[in-house]
Structure 1
Amino acid sequence: MVFIKTGCKRSFGFEQVFDARLKTDRHSQFLLQCPGPGYLREVFRPCFFWGEAIVWQRMALELFRQAEARLSRRALRHNLSLIRSRLKESTGLHRARTEIMAVVKADAYGHSIREFLPELLKNGIRSICVASVEEGVLARRLNSKVEILVLGGSFRWPASLIHCLKENRLSLAVSDIASLRSLLRVKEIPIHLKLDTGMNRLGVKEDEWGLALELVRQSNRSLEGFMTHYASAQGSSFQRQVSRFEAALRAFIEAGLCPKKIHSENSAALFSRERLKKGLLSEKANLCRPGLSIYGYLSPPYERFEPGLRPVLSLVARLGLKKRLKKGEAVSYEGLYRAPYDHDIFVFPIGYADGIAKSYAPLLRPRILRAEGRKEKEALRLCGAICMDMIVLRDPAQQQRRVEWVEFWGSDRSNLVSKKLVSPYELNLRIASRIPRLWVN
């Protein structure tokens, strides 16, 4: 291990040390110490190599900021159980053979793929979706056996990228004819052909489906997968997309090109009342792609069908400082809050740099945490502005309650989401990487 000590306020310049050491030992570890207030020790080690680039994995040895994103194993198991139950009920058919392909793009929707992937595997998940090749490479480094489908992220195929896909055993969703022509020649890369049935984003357009079929036939290859993505999971729009996808699937099957994996259902399609009707798709589909529902949410307008999903992530912080405020004293920048009477205030080391946006202020209702995760019914209230690294709260009940940890959102349905102040997709994606994700129970 190489030990490097440096001052906090000057440029480190330790890249040269890394490069020199790695020429002799690619598995070297580096301990970096930055002395001074709030110093942080980190071990740097090469996580993986991609061409000439080194991607560094940082492992914090000491965490001084008392704010966490707590992940609930119990909630994850509950949500996966609901999804599996829904699969069996969705068409009136027993679909036990339909497996879950978990969507873990964007760092598992802000929950940390490093933390989330091992738990998914423990709960019987054998395949995942990511958004880009880079995310796929990271997922492969975390697990050598899981099946990984790259949904997008690249539309050009240089030799280096092809090599990366083969080396990391990544499957690829192909969305256009030009890419299909190129990638059918590379037999080591499993292809999921994506059809545009009405989303008008990614996917081969309907007037090119015949050409796609002919290209696959001429290549003497079988498709690994056949897929689409629904723009809506309700009303006539949904049924039109299903009908188009079934027609394309029937054409491929009749041509002797039946794909191994057929999937179209996302979280909205799984939990909407517009269920798949009995037909070719309900009989042949053997994968579904839930994303948001795994993490405990449904997007509008499907949240009204809420089946009892539980948010997996809770954002919490520990009290930093308790102070007594006198009547008439103002708090924080511009004195937006002025005390109407003497009362206590509580300062927490978390702010908008951590994902609690200033726009959340009107509906932010942090609740005091007690033993075993219980929460006080009466929420705390914001005092003044949400700052970059600090939030000041007060107890409107003035009950002299003991305050140590508070939950900003999580185990209960977030007031911010229910009042549509923020999308459930964005709520946890906005949480900064400096907030550690930790499993509980």
Structure 2
Amino acid sequence: MQKRIESLRPTYAQIDLKAFGHNIEQARKLSGTDIIAIIKADGYGHGAVRLAEYAIKNCGVRKFGVATVLEGIVLRKSLGPEPEIFLLGYVDQYLHEEVFINKLIPAVFDDEIAEAYHSFLEQNNLKADITLKIDTGMHRLGYSPEMDYQEFLKKYPRFHVCHVMSHLSSADSDIEYSYQQKERFCSFIKNNNITAETSLLNSSGIANISNECTLARPGIMLYGYLYGNNNVDLKKVMRIYSKVVHIKRIPKGETVSYNRRFTADKDMTVGVVPIGYADGYSRNFSNRAEMRVNGVNCPVLGTVCMDMTMIDLTNVPLDGSYPEVEILGDNISAEKWAELADTISYEILCGISDRIPRIYKD
């Protein structure tokens, strides 16, 4: 397999399935409940189908969360009819047939959406499971906790509310507000005698907030990252490797890459690595990031190109061969990338393009 990959390009992402399984068990342990494994955005860039297949076979996961109809359809076709697939985002009306044909469980979060779904079910003499979304303070999607739940059930008899959820906005940074959200949600559940499955806690919520629901919805923690709590035993799932494909020596005073943004202050050895911003390696890393070669952290030199990046090999022991490069891994994390790019690890992981093949390690 490795030779085959190198015949295309030596840059690849290694996905550690056992690490993914370990993180699933950590989410269950901390939440004290079963989970809806959130694998939207192609499993945060890791490959949703392979992750879901592993989670079903090796971890007993039976519930998955996605954001779009297409994500749900791809999972359903791959996983078969048994797993529950929760569609947690907005769906255009012309896709409602696809939702129900593929046994996806849509989120209902206002009367307009409810009317559209229910009208389709009436026209086709169907009933369907749904998730009811309650807005406890995120102010994105969801009914007010003051909604008349009993009236909702009467108005939409073709809905079977199998899951009621809300979403924490700031569990990594504002615990007090998160507990306020929790109180609103728990009051809604209690006041309406709801017996359906319930979920509130996302990854940071699982780590920081006590769980009184029947489910939890871990996302980023399944991939080894977490904000607001560094004491959780998580394992990184993705690593990115490549190799140096060209080495050259330049004298002091020469410049490197577009716009001559790096000038050598001494004679230097420069290596070219086949990864660039089209792969998700941000131009923000220009003159800032590092890659690791033979145990040495090597600064990026100059501007990151679309397909290639130059690094400083001056202090790296070289034996005449082209060495392997650790781009993302045990020594260089997505959190470090995020710091350099002024973003979060979620965006980093989701932004690793499909030009980089995923190689699965069990």
TM-score (norm. length: structure 1):
0.72
Amino acid at match of 1:394: D
Matched, 1:324 2:324: no
Q: Who is 1:170 aligned against? A: 104
Matched, 1:150 2:87: yes
Q: Residue 254 of structure 2 contacts residue 263 of structure 2 at CA under 8 Å; is this kept in 1?
A: yes
Amino acid at match of 2:44: Y
Structure with larger Rg: 1
1:408 aligned counterpart, secondary structure? strand
Q: Which runs of 4+ in 1 moved over 4 A?
A: 60-63, 218-221
> In the TM superposition, what is the alpha-carbon distance from 1:174 to its structure 2 partner?
0.6
Q: Residue 230 of structure 1 contacts residue 264 of structure 1 at CA under 8 Å; is this kept in 2?
A: yes
What is the alpha-carbon distance in structure 1 between the residues aligned to residue 343 and residue 243 of structure 2?
24
Matched, 1:101 2:36: yes
Q: Residue 267 of structure 1 contacts residue 293 of structure 1 at CA under 8 Å; is this kept in 2?
A: yes
Unpaired runs of at least 5, structure 2: none
1:339-388 per-residue CA deviation (whole Å, 9 max, x = no partner) reads: 3333322111111111111112344121126xxxxxx1x30111221111
Amino acid at match of 1:427: I
Q: Residue 236 of structure 2 is aligned with which of 297, 311, 324? A: 311
Amino acid at match of 1:76: F
Q: 1:331 to 1:171 in 2, by over 3 A?
A: same
What is the alpha-carbon distance in structure 2 between the residues aligned to residue 317 and residue 61 of structure 1?
10
Q: Who is 1:42 aligned against? A: none
Q: Who is 1:113 aligned against? A: 48
> In the TM superposition, what is the alpha-carbon distance from 1:142 to its structure 2 partner?
1.6
Q: 1:347 to 1:252 in 2, by over 3 A?
A: same
Q: 1:72 to 1:322 in 2, by over 3 A?
A: same
Q: Who is 2:223 aligned against? A: 295
Higher relative contact order (CA 8 A, sep 6+): 2
1:35-85 per-residue CA deviation (whole Å, 9 max, x = no partner) reads: xxxxxxxxxxxxxxxxxxxxxxxxx99951221111112321221222122
- Computed over aligned residues only, the root mean square deviation of the Cα atoms, in angstroms, reads 2.4
Q: Who is 2:167 aligned against? A: 229
Matched, 1:67 2:1: no
Q: Residue 115 of structure 1 contacts residue 437 of structure 1 at CA under 8 Å; is this kept in 2?
A: no
TM-score (norm. length: structure 2):
0.87
Q: Residue 410 of structure 1 is aligned with which of 326, 329, 334? A: 329
Q: Who is 1:247 aligned against? A: 187
Percent of matched pairs sharing the same residue: 29
Q: Who is 1:54 aligned against? A: none
Q: Residue 83 of structure 1 is aligned with which of 27, 37, 44? A: 27
Q: Residue 66 of structure 1 contacts residue 317 of structure 1 at CA under 8 Å; is this kept in 2?
A: yes
Matched, 1:431 2:352: yes
Q: Who is 1:190 aligned against? A: 129
Q: Who is 2:262 aligned against? A: 337
2:128 aligned counterpart, secondary structure? coil
1:2-23 per-residue CA deviation (whole Å, 9 max, x = no partner) reads: xxxxxxxxxxxxxxxxxxxxxx
> In the TM superposition, what is the alpha-carbon distance from 1:325 to its structure 2 partner?
2.4
The total of aligned residue pairs comes to: 346
Unpaired runs of at least 5, structure 1: 1-59, 89-97, 277-281, 370-375
Q: Residue 194 of structure 1 contacts residue 203 of structure 1 at CA under 8 Å; is this kept in 2?
A: yes
What is the alpha-carbon distance in structure 2 between the residues aligned to residue 79 and residue 205 of structure 1?
33
